[in-house]
Amino acid sequence: MSIDNRFGGVPLLGRGLNRRSVLIGATGALAAPFVLRPRGARAADSIVVVDDGGVVQEAKREVFFKPFTADTGVEVIEVSNNSGHLERLKAQVVTGNIEWDAVYLNGQGANAAAKEGLVEEIDYTQIDVAKSLHPEWVLPGGLCYAFFTGGIAFNPAKHPAGKHPTTYQEFWDVEKFPGRRGMLQRAIYALEMALAADGVPANEIYPINFDRAFASLDRIKPHINVWMSQNEQAINMLQTGEVDFDFTFISRVIPAQEAGVSIDIVDDNSTISGPSYIVIPKGTAKKDLVMKFLTYVNRPDLQAELCNRIGFTPENGEAYSLVKPEMLAKLPKPGHPNAIALDMAWWGENLTEAEGRFKEWILT
C-alpha cells in the first residue's frame, strides 16, 4: 500500500493534480466554479468508482463493472486509492470539486461520511434490501453489499486443534494456550474482543461498557507482543513466526491459503463482522447512473460471484444459495449465537471518544 498517499487529500497534492484540475485552476478565476464542473470534460455516460486496488478491485471489475458497462454502455472509470478515501471525499465535497461518483468505504468510513453530510441518500425504491442479513447495517447514505469477518488466526502446522485458542476467553488465557500474541492497534475490534473475553454474550456487547472493556484489556496487555497498525501485517506476522496467534480477517486468510501459506482462522465462536459500503459523494451529477450501478452491486448472483472469487461475504441473503460449497465452508454461518456484528450506530457516535481512550490506554 502506498503510505505516501496518505496525506495527499488536498487537490493540489497527490492525484488531484491532473489535466482537469489544472484546467479548472487556470480558468477558475474567470468563470464561476459551477460552470466548470470537472465532469464537463468527461464523457456523459461514465462514472468514476473508487476502490482499494489490488485483487479486490480486479475481482470487482470482472464481477460488477464489466456486466454493468456491457448492459448499459456506461463506462466505469476506476480509481485505485488504497488509503484515504474518506478525507479525500471530504475535501472534494467541502471544496465543491467532486471528481468521484461512487466510493467503496468500510463501516466506520461510511458512517462518518454520512454523519458529516458528505454523501447522497441511496434511493431504496430502486434497490431491494429486504433480504439483507444485517438490517441494522442498512444506511440511508450507503449501500452495504458485503461484510468482513475477523477472528483469531494461527498456523495449523505449529498449533493444531486443541493447541490454539478458539474463543476470546481462550485468547486471553495465556497459561492454557501459551504463545506470542498480536492484536490490531485500534479501539474497534479490540473493545469487542475484550468484552467477549470477559464473558459478555455476543448480543450484549453494545453499548460498550468502557470500564469493563479496559479492565479486560489490562489483563491481556502484558501478553501482547505486537500491536499491529496495519491489517497487512497480520498474515506476515504468522508467516514469519513473529506471533503465534493474532486477529485478522477471513478475506485476508483465504488468499494467503491459496498462496500456500500454512494459516487458518477459527470460525463461528470468535467472529467479529463489519460492513463494507458503497457511497455516493454529495453533489455528484451522476447520481442516476450510480443508482443504476448499485442495482448491479446488490444483485445476488453478482455478490455470490464476488464471494466465489475473493471470499467477500454477501450481504444480500439471496446470494448464499449461489456461493460455491467449498467457499461457503470457509465463511461464517449467518446468525451464529456467538458471532459479533459491529454496531455501526454505536461506533458512529463513539468512535472519537473510544479511540481517544484506547490511545491513552495503550500508551500507559
Partner 1 sequence: MALVFLVPLLTTVYFSVGGMELTAEYFLKIFQGKLYQAVLWTTVEISVVSALLTLVVGYPIAYHLSKQPPRRRLFLSMLLLLPFYTSILVKSFAFTVVLGHSGVINDGLRALFGEGAVVQLLYNRLGVYIGLVHNLLPYMVFPILTNLLSQDPNLPRAAELMGASRSRIFWKVTFPLSLPGVAAGVLLATVLSLGQYITPALLGGRQDMMMANLVHFQIAQALDWNMASAISVVLLSLAGLIILLLSRVKGVQLFEAKTVS
CB of 301 to partner 1, least distance (A): 34
3-class state of residue 75 by DSSP: strand
First vs last C-alpha separation in the chain: 30
Q: Residue 187 or 302: which CB sits closer to partner 1? A: 187
Q: Residue 9 or 150: which CB sits closer to partner 1? A: 9
CB of 94 to partner 1, least distance (A): 9
Residue 331 has phi, psi (to 5 degrees) of -95, 155
Burial (CB count <10 Å: 0-12, 13-18, 19+), residue 362: middle
Q: Residue 185 or 308: which CB sits closer to partner 1? A: 185
CB of 242 to partner 1, least distance (A): 5
Q: Residue 261 or 362: which CB sits closer to partner 1? A: 362
Q: Which grid coordinates are listed for 94? A: 467541502
CB of 40 to partner 1, least distance (A): 25
What is the contact surface with partner 1 in residues (CB under 8 A)? 1-3, 6-7, 9-10, 12, 83-84, 86-87, 90, 108, 112, 116, 180, 185, 224-227, 229-230, 232-233, 236-237, 240-243, 351-352, 355-356, 359-360, 362-364
Q: Residue 262 or 352: which CB sits closer to partner 1? A: 352
The CA-based angle 84-87-93, given to 5 degrees, is 135
- Parallel, antiparallel, or unpaired: how do β-strands 102-106 and 46-51 relate? parallel
CB of 83 to partner 1, least distance (A): 8
Please provide the DSSP assignment of 220-248 as one string. HGGGEEEEESSTTHHHHHHHTTS-SEEEE
